[in-house]
Structure 1
Amino acid sequence: MTDQSTATAPPEHQPDRPRKPADASALSPLELLRFAWTQLTSMRTALTLLFIAALAAIPGSLIPQRPVSPVQVREFITENPRLGGFYDAVGLFEVYTSPWFSAIYLLLLVSLIGCIVPRIGVYARALRAEPVNTPRNLSRLPAYAKVDGRDDAIERATEHLRAKHYRVRRIEEDGATSLSAERGYLREAGNLVFHLSLVAMLLGVATGVLFGYRGAAIVPVGGGFSNNLTQYDELTSGAEFTDLDLQPFSVLIDDFTARFETGKVNTGQPREFTANVTVIERPGAEPKPDVIEVNHPLEIAGTQVHLLGHGYAPRVTVHDGEGNVAWSGPVVFLPQDGNFTSNGVIKAPDARPDRLAFEGIFVPTTPVDNAMPRSLFPDAYNPELFLNAYHGPPRVATGEPENVYSLNKTGLTQYLQANGEPLRFRLKAGESFALPDGRGTITYEGYQRWVRLQVSYTPGLAATLAACLIGVAGLCMSLFIRPRRLWVRAAADGSVEVTGLDRAEGRTGLAEAVGELGESVLR
């Protein structure tokens, strides 16, 4: 006699056992491709790629990026040549345009699309389908009640459920009438909207990266900027950008106001930076006045002009040894600290018989009791110009570009004092200094301010923002909408069974919903 507890079940009744995965080497190319696509388009892969993309973006916020801060990148490489060389080789100075970040980005985009498209089809079929059949044993469901119902219990229950926005299906089976009701279809819609918005955001960002550009230019107050390639000090752009994408506008810097805190608390902290400008939006257009402030950019045909920084430009005139003007005009000095102690270089390559050059420090507020070139306050209350002088034989022009903020001392000799120390001198506005041996003079005439403008064009920005807002709305729908099923069965003896089931974990209120439905059919 066979023990029933250990008897082997017939094959048709044996439980399903997990299949052993097929050997990848035995798969045909088409099957292998289908397997790779299935893995790539799984939600687990999409979430993993999203997490990897978030991790990959971290270096972009910790390491200076060449498109935004090229000067900081150069300084980092100079100070850390070995580490900087490694960072540059693997693209950590340009994280968001590097090949490896682009690969993660594209894989995430493909994975999301592959996840979403099948789910849209499933959701469309679910919307067309009727509520499911009534379970045979209603008492096994989480919330259950049995009451003595009215003769029109089904009609009353139908009216109650439709008032609560349920889709209702009436079922006749085995001499009993039942209702199957369901609501919460918009929860999955919100989930799909969120994921579609994420795809739209990725596409919007990609559009901005490919077709957008960002550049910066230093413009002295009283000067102007025209939006063409030759006017930029630095420019980064996407792969599909051309100079034809530049809007042909001009901005004239009429005036610039900088105010700083002069009280005992937060002395020297900025209070106001305002540039009054005249804008010509296109050739032949009427000039119109406007204002650019920090965080309030000027917008022209989708292009934004930001006020990014400011500083001082001492006005100097250099006469050479023959008495001719070798250089005259403002020279941009770059601030080195919060009090705007600024460094700069004055070059007079056309001076004769020797070319002349000067390294200088501009101090907006010079201490009266200290000869050190450091500023006490960022505003110009006691401006002075500290200089070192160099001379050398004329150099043949090669046409190679040269950094205007640094001095190439090849072929130059520094002027020295009688004691052998480097010649250093300081000038107030209107003062001049004669170089040794009658080689020329330099006159400090005063200063004017300069502003640093950032011009950026990011197509797809509005669409990206809209997708972000729509995605948040979709996420709220998926979090707060409660998908729920309720059933009502009226027996021939007048009893009515009422039950329900939540389709999402952690929901509350199911017992109350079943109780309200039961009360609506009571005698």
Structure 2
Amino acid sequence: MAIVKFLLSLPKKAWHWLTSMRTALALLFLLALGAIPGALLPQRSLNADNVADYLANNGKVAEIYDKLQFFDVFSSTWFNAIALLLFISLIGCILPRSVEHYRAMKQPPVRAPKNLKRLALHGEGSVEKPLAEVEAEIAQALRGWNVAKYSAAEDRAGVRSVAAEKGYAREFFNLMFHLGLVGMLAAMAIGRFVYYEGQVIVIASEREDVNSQFCTTATANFDSFRAGVLFDGTGLNQYCIEAHNFKADYLPNGQAESFRSDISYAQGEQIFADPKTWTHTTLKVNHPLRIGGDRVYLQGHGFAPTFTVTWPNGESRRQTVQFRPDDLTFFLSSGVMRFDPPAGMYPDLFERRQQQLTIQGLFAPTAEWSGANNELLTSAYPALRDPAVAIDIYRGDHGLDGGSSQSIFALDPSLIHSGQLQKIERVNLSEGESVTLDDGTKVTFEGAEEFANYQVSYDPTQLWVLIFTVGALLSLVGSLVVKRRRIWVRYREVTPTVTFVETAGLARTDRAGWGEEYQRIHRRILALPEPEDDDE
């Protein structure tokens, strides 16, 4: 029987433990501690490539981190479990305390202790006023306080008394602070279920042969996309954006000073109108475009070299493809371009595939050459001042028809090792320069355009998170400023014109500043003069 009672009492004890303020503080500390790996280690949700590199370079330690979900901290089981327990703990703390605080506000202030002289703040004296006038003065001095009068029969010392209390708002602000925390957690949790976020690279150019438009009509239009579990991919806010340019200002050392991008956008029926009639605006870092409930951020940029391939029959193909910035300071970038020959040159499909061209190499916006024969390309500045490329040109089947995906920034090494692609030229080219291949095909480097990286974010709970956060901060300030204090006044008639008054005060929280307030009330009731200023 005793074991059964013990087992039955466990849920109640567990609930009391979970809903204690001490437990809530411990869980809040654990949540902050658990967020540290998310700040120090790469996260898959932000950059899966960085996680893969970390796993490849750190061996067994990285594998242990992966098993502990340190690369997926904010979506991990243990982090969400701590957050859920903290949420339950805060609710369990707040609701009972809210009921108790409401009841306490309805109760009159407690009667005065029998011996007021034991309190740190105490004073007494006689005032030459009738009892009625003293009562009126006490009422005026304690205006704004929660006051209760006690008769001589009710008072512990058998004398008429007044009990007053002030500072109930301190506990109210304290509760509102915790409610704000709960609201923040709830809003962020709901937001994680319904949000979506996508990134897309758009070449910012006015050239007609370059597609500089992007429409949010489908998730497939994004280069990367992630969303909450309740988002099914069909609720996108639909609009179109056209990137006209990307501009950056740099310091002499190459450090970026500002980014901006001039764009046009359209929503609804305006999408089908002439793009020249679309609404124009300028995006800047941390100054997003807000449209249809979405926020469109300008995140970064890079360069997209332009190559033209001219075959011996005179036909040509021109491409502008973004390269990946490997050096984020001076933007030395790497990438790949793939060209199919004209269909008329090779009627046989197999033969045509064997004549495909692939260009792989480096691009520098401001070329700097080094090495024994000045053949090593680096970039000396991030702006587009003297563009150049160092490229390898391959001929053969580049494998895009094989059914397997390939990186847009690098060749699959197995295609080279197997001989499916064969290198036919290695060359360095400045803007406007060309190279002629062994079959008469001409490859020309025509310069580069800049691309911009845009991020589209949707989170309908963002405003609520802000409201709860501001409310919690204001409530925290209020709980620190407001002081809970009590004051008691006993008075009795000595003669019809003389009344004896005894006062005492007690600070229920911090006593700072309470002594001065108590003395002001005491002097007013006893009609005492104000103390002289020591500086006079």
Taking structure 2 as the reference length, the TM-score comes to 0.85
The one-letter code of the counterpart of 1:364 is P
How far apart are the structure 2 equivalents of 1:217 and 1:395?
25
1:75 is displaced (CA, Å) by 2.4
Aligned residues: 487
Match of 2:507 in 1: 502
Contact 2:122 2:505 in 1 (8 A): yes
Distance 1:492 1:88, change over 3 A: same
How far apart are the structure 1 equivalents of 2:57 and 2:340?
30
DSSP-derived class of the 1:56 partner = helix
Match of 2:430 in 1: 428
Match of 2:470 in 1: 469
Contact 1:310 1:449 in 2 (8 A): yes
Match of 1:260 in 2: 250
The one-letter code of the counterpart of 2:309 is V
Distance 1:509 1:273, change over 3 A: closer
How far apart are the structure 1 equivalents of 2:479 and 2:107?
21
How far apart are the structure 1 equivalents of 2:25 and 2:515?
35
Any stretches of 5+ residues in structure 1 without a counterpart? Answer: 1-21, 418-422
1:476 is displaced (CA, Å) by 0.9
Match of 2:113 in 1: 135
Contact 1:248 1:283 in 2 (8 A): no
Match of 2:5 in 1: 27
Matches within 5 A, 1:31-50: 31-50=9-28
How far apart are the structure 2 equivalents of 1:46 and 1:125?
24
Match of 2:78 in 1: 100
Distance 1:90 1:328, change over 3 A: farther
Q: Deviations over 1:172-213 (max 9, x none)?
A: 024621100000000000000100000001011112222112
1:348 is displaced (CA, Å) by 3.0
Query: Is 1:513 matched up with 2:517?
Result: yes
The one-letter code of the counterpart of 1:305 is V
1:28 is displaced (CA, Å) by 5.5
Percent of residue pairs bearing the same amino acid type = 33
The one-letter code of the counterpart of 2:426 is R
1:352 is displaced (CA, Å) by 4.3
Match of 1:113 in 2: 91
1:435 is displaced (CA, Å) by 2.6
Which of the residues 267, 285, 293 maps onto 1:281? 267
1:123 is displaced (CA, Å) by 0.6
1:100 is displaced (CA, Å) by 1.1
How far apart are the structure 1 equivalents of 2:524 and 2:112?
19
DSSP-derived class of the 2:454 partner = strand
Match of 2:215 in 1: 226
Match of 2:388 in 1: 384
The one-letter code of the counterpart of 1:495 is F
Which of the residues 255, 266, 281 maps onto 1:290? 281
1:333 is displaced (CA, Å) by 0.8
DSSP-derived class of the 1:468 partner = helix
Query: Is 1:204 matched up with 2:187?
Result: yes
Q: Supply the RMSD in Å over aligned alpha carbons.
A: 2.3
Contact 1:488 1:498 in 2 (8 A): yes
Query: Is 1:397 matched up with 2:397?
Result: no
The one-letter code of the counterpart of 1:498 is T
How far apart are the structure 2 equivalents of 1:517 and 1:368?
84
The one-letter code of the counterpart of 2:320 is P
Match of 2:170 in 1: 187
How far apart are the structure 2 equivalents of 1:297 and 1:129?
52
Match of 1:331 in 2: 321
DSSP-derived class of the 1:244 partner = coil
How far apart are the structure 1 equivalents of 2:88 and 2:411?
51
Query: Is 1:53 matched up with 2:31?
Result: yes
Which of the residues 307, 323, 339 maps onto 2:298? 307
Distance 1:394 1:178, change over 3 A: closer
1:320 is displaced (CA, Å) by 5.9
The one-letter code of the counterpart of 1:80 is N
Which of the residues 314, 317, 334 maps onto 2:308? 317
How far apart are the structure 1 equivalents of 2:146 and 2:408?
74
Matches within 5 A, 1:81-100: 81-100=59-78
The one-letter code of the counterpart of 1:469 is V
Distance 1:258 1:394, change over 3 A: closer
How far apart are the structure 2 equivalents of 1:91 and 1:320?
53
Contact 1:143 1:510 in 2 (8 A): no
The one-letter code of the counterpart of 1:433 is V
Contact 2:367 2:378 in 1 (8 A): yes
How far apart are the structure 1 equivalents of 2:62 and 2:308?
40
The one-letter code of the counterpart of 1:408 is D
Distance 1:510 1:395, change over 3 A: closer
Distance 1:394 1:513, change over 3 A: closer
Match of 1:124 in 2: 102
Q: Deviations over 1:225-248 (max 9, x none)?
A: 111211111112211122123110
How far apart are the structure 2 equivalents of 1:48 and 1:36?
15
Q: Deviations over 1:343-399 (max 9, x none)?
A: 111123665433332211011111367331101111121111110122334748243
Which of the residues 326, 338, 341 maps onto 1:347? 338
How far apart are the structure 1 equivalents of 2:381 and 2:313?
39
How far apart are the structure 1 equivalents of 2:469 and 2:398?
60
Distance 1:117 1:426, change over 3 A: same
How far apart are the structure 2 equivalents of 1:439 and 1:71?
39
Distance 1:321 1:404, change over 3 A: farther
Match of 2:349 in 1: none
DSSP-derived class of the 2:376 partner = coil
Distance 1:259 1:132, change over 3 A: same
Match of 1:19 in 2: none
